[in-house]
Amino acid sequence: MAREPLTLKAYAKVNLTLEVIGKRDDGYHNVATVMQTVDLADTLVISQAAQLEVECDEPSLLGESNLAWKAAVALASRVGAVPRGRIHIEKGIPVASGLGGGSADAAAALLGLNRLWGLKLGMAELAEIAAGLGSDVPFLLNGGTAMGTGRGDEIAPLPALPATEVLLVVPADSIDVKTPTMYRALRPGDFSDGSRTRRIASRSGGQALTSEDCCNAFERAAREIFSGLGSVWDSVAAVTRYPPRLSGAGPTLYTMPSSETERIRVAESLQGTDATAYLVRTISPEDRPRAASINQVQPTINQV
């Protein structure tokens, strides 16, 4: 059991592909997706406490509203324990952006509390708990490059992509109950058979990918539903080498490979909007620092 506070990084993800194949009997949808973690991250500090506490510098994510709280409760329930501990979250990943920030926090909470409480659960058991929290959470326990099927929670690790700089563009748009809304907005032409995902997965670890190779079933719907996204999308597309793609259910766009020069050019094109540009890099599990002391130095992310 760890007695000193643990500091963990919770890394964002982008969907290099996201194909929706069809609706399931349980009301969810079958998808095929290739996911990739990048080094934009939240920071969690997890420490001993007499009761469960979740603090966050984003006021809307305090306490029981945070997926990290649900992760702690689920983990404690699995072992028949009372959840105790303090989880302090500093957000670096924009909220509700399609980058998996809440899921990343839940995954980091499972890993940190497993260590803090001395449970010694294996990754397979943690993944079972993670699947009950959200489709992205099992992937974000390890991160790197992986293919997701089923609801997106059946994870098959893939060879790591070559280290690649990725430009993220995060509009300020938000909608309520985003994921159900986006799925309801899909039309027959937005569905596919998963073949593009399988093709990208077969290339992982070999030939470098560009965002021109990527796809997302929600792109048409996102342009219609997020009020400012279309104009941001067009502005970005006009000045980048490779076309922007949507991550998750949006509204974040990404293009890859990119560069600091391109980030500056995009930032200039976005003046007068509320969108933010981040230059990040793909990250694999071996690149991730282990849970460290509270004095761990955190990397910086270029943004405007």
Instruction: Tell me which residues are annotated as active site.
Output: 13, 136
d(Cα 175, Cα 218) in Å, to the nearest integer? 14
Please check whether residue 6 is in contact with residue 291, taking contact to mean a CB–CB distance below 8 angstroms.
yes
Token pair listed for 246: 């949507």
Pick from 241, 200, 250: nearest CA to 222: 250
d(Cα 88, Cα 44) in Å, to the nearest integer? 6
d(Cα 143, Cα 65) in Å, to the nearest integer? 24
HEC readout, 231-278: HHHHHHHCCCCCCCEECCCCCCEEECCCCHHHHHHHHHHCCCCCCEEE
